[in-house]
Structure 1
Amino acid sequence: MTLTRPFRIVLIEDEAATARNLEYIIREIKPAVEIMATLQGVTEAVDWLARNHNSYDLIFSDIRLSDGLSFEIFRQTNISKPVIFVTAYNDYAIEAFRNNGIDYILKPFDEEEIRRALLKYNTLIVPDVEMERDRIAGLLQQLQSTTKSYKKSFLFHYCGRLIPVEASKIHWFYTANEIVYAHTTDGKQYIVESTLEQLEQQLDPAFFFRANRQFIIHRNAVGTVEYFFNGRLVLKIHPSPLEQVLVSKARAMLFRKWLDQ
């Protein structure tokens, strides 16, 4: 009797909560799947993929990782397998399809989107080249004409009342003891009923940046940026938090690019 090996997938995602959610949905759709690895950054992915060349069938990959863009992985390794990109940003579509991309899913995603992407993989194992070119052209046109909507305001519970606050008035979000707080320009603090991972997908990346595992900061909150030990950056933001806000060496370049737009 011939045994069929399981369908093998590699995840490239630096947010643990997103990776867990993606793996859960994939297993719901394809229970026999094998998640061979969950890779969190460019360096880790390059190393793993070089050691496990073509031992997998499909890659799900975020684009902005903690230490750079995932496209750098494809420049440094010889990847021939298809890639489904899952990202919060819609401005990398063209480059994604130049790097083995067969689908481009915007966060936050749901089960139906992942199901359609896996079905597309099945139909593209032996693709019709002309049909595939037309499909990609149509998808790019759709992505380019679609503007993602970001949260413009929040409704907070405070002292028995509901307080509306514009997102532009929130200078930073902070998490401690599994509670997320929003700090406004006038120094007020509110509890947020979302995780930082969820907020990162809801907030406009042109104005908000995930500095580290504890802070998301608004562009207007940044006063000065100073160099710190081991290639890190220390941010002086206002209103001033109780602890230092550090940007890791891996994210320092992304932060400088974000601030210099």
Structure 2
Amino acid sequence: MNIIIIEDEKPAARLLQRKVEKLGLHVNQMLHSVEESINWFKNNIHPDLIFLDIQLSDGLSFEIFEQIDIKSAVIFTTAYDEYALRAFKLNSIDYLLKPIDEDDLETAISKFKNQFQKSSIASLDFEMIKKMLVNPIDREFKKRFTIKMGQQLKMVAIEEVECFFSENKGTYLHTFDGRDYLLDQTLEQLEIELNPKEFYRVSRKFIIPMKAIKEIQMYSNSRLKVILPTYKEDEVVVSREKVSDFKSWLG
């Protein structure tokens, strides 16, 4: 298997190399910048697998893919937090969180060996990923929604939102005065646009703001049920795997 590592910090690159080779594999090349990587890919056969740091000394590694049609599977290595990692989960990208754990590394390589599927780099939404990598403190979040109603446009401020929900392949905004409005975005896209300190995706169907929580009840199978002021169409249930994170979000 032909493997390369792209990492701007040389000690980190050598450490990852040792961990990879400890698993019986060989790292064929180590690169340390966007510019060096672009030049290398122009003149060499692309490897089977790339371990790729996101933030390189001369820019984001995504710039490599914007200039070169990479013919390799990619596992990103990153020190970014859980919020930023939503970008990778939404795009089904494999990643390893720094400092890289040897067991996680072995799992990622085993997955690559078993599936041997090329990452669809060309189809990735790089702009969306870049936005997700911005520190939430520095970001501008959605303040209002412009909704088309017949021949008119209606503005709904973020403060009016009681919840967002999906139904019959559509995404809706529900307001505190009990009205529903169809949106163009998916819940996945809304997760990126909303302030994570104020909004939480409790399940595949619902995103709710903290200020709309009227009551929280114990529910079956170790789940939680959230009571909202006016939304009554369906039960707003926190998925079991999200309960712990939801409680942390509540503070």
Instruction: Give the shorter-chain TM-score range.
Output: 0.5 to 0.7
- Whether the 8 Å CA contact 1:175–1:181 is kept in 2: the answer is yes
- With over 3 angstroms needed to count, the CA separation of the structure-2 counterparts of 1:143 and 1:73, relative to structure 1, is closer
Superposition pairs of residues 155-194 of structure 1, within 5 angstroms: 155-194=146-185
Aligned residue in 1 for 2:205? 214
1:234 aligns with 2:251: no
- With over 3 angstroms needed to count, the CA separation of the structure-2 counterparts of 1:247 and 1:27, relative to structure 1, is farther
Superposition pairs of residues 1-261 of structure 1, within 5 angstroms: 5-8=47-50, 29-35=68-74, 58-59=76-77, 63-64=82-83, 77-78=101-102, 109-110=126-127, 147-260=138-251
* Matched residue type, 1:78: E
Q: Distance in 2 between matches of 1:111 and 1:166?
A: 23
- Whether the 8 Å CA contact 1:9–1:59 is kept in 2: the answer is yes
- Whether the 8 Å CA contact 1:221–1:239 is kept in 2: the answer is no
Describe the SS at the equivalent of 1:251.
helix
Q: Distance in 2 between matches of 1:257 and 1:161?
A: 41
Shift of 1:177: 1.9
- With over 3 angstroms needed to count, the CA separation of the structure-2 counterparts of 1:226 and 1:158, relative to structure 1, is same
- With over 3 angstroms needed to count, the CA separation of the structure-2 counterparts of 1:257 and 1:190, relative to structure 1, is same
Shift of 1:158: 1.6
* Matched residue type, 1:59: T
Shift of 1:73: 6.6
| Count of residue correspondences | 168
- With over 3 angstroms needed to count, the CA separation of the structure-2 counterparts of 1:111 and 1:171, relative to structure 1, is closer
Shift of 1:147: 1.5
Describe the SS at the equivalent of 1:230.
helix
Q: Distance in 1 between matches of 2:129 and 2:192?
A: 18
5+ residue gaps, structure 2: 3-44, 53-61, 87-95, 106-124
- Whether the 8 Å CA contact 1:180–1:194 is kept in 2: the answer is yes
- With over 3 angstroms needed to count, the CA separation of the structure-2 counterparts of 1:175 and 1:28, relative to structure 1, is farther
What CA deviation, in whole Å up to 9, does each residue of 1:69-113 have, x standing for no partner? xxx9768933798xxxxxxxxxxxxxxxxxxxxxxxxxx852895
Describe the SS at the equivalent of 1:182.
strand
- Whether the 8 Å CA contact 2:165–2:206 is kept in 1: the answer is yes
Q: Distance in 2 between matches of 1:112 and 1:171?
A: 27
Q: TM-score if structure 1 supplies the norm length?
A: 0.53
Q: Distance in 2 between matches of 1:223 and 1:211?
A: 15
- With over 3 angstroms needed to count, the CA separation of the structure-2 counterparts of 1:29 and 1:234, relative to structure 1, is farther
Q: Distance in 2 between matches of 1:160 and 1:185?
A: 24
**Percent of aligned pairs with the same residue?**
25
- Whether the 8 Å CA contact 1:27–1:33 is kept in 2: the answer is no
Q: Distance in 2 between matches of 1:208 and 1:111?
A: 19
5+ residue gaps, structure 1: 11-22, 36-55, 67-71, 82-107, 118-141
Shift of 1:242: 1.2
Aligned residue in 2 for 1:13? none
Greater C-alpha radius of gyration = 2
Describe the SS at the equivalent of 2:145.
strand
What CA deviation, in whole Å up to 9, does each residue of 1:200-241 have, x standing for no partner? 111111211111111111112111111222221111112223
C-alpha RMSD over aligned residues:
4.0
* Matched residue type, 2:168: N
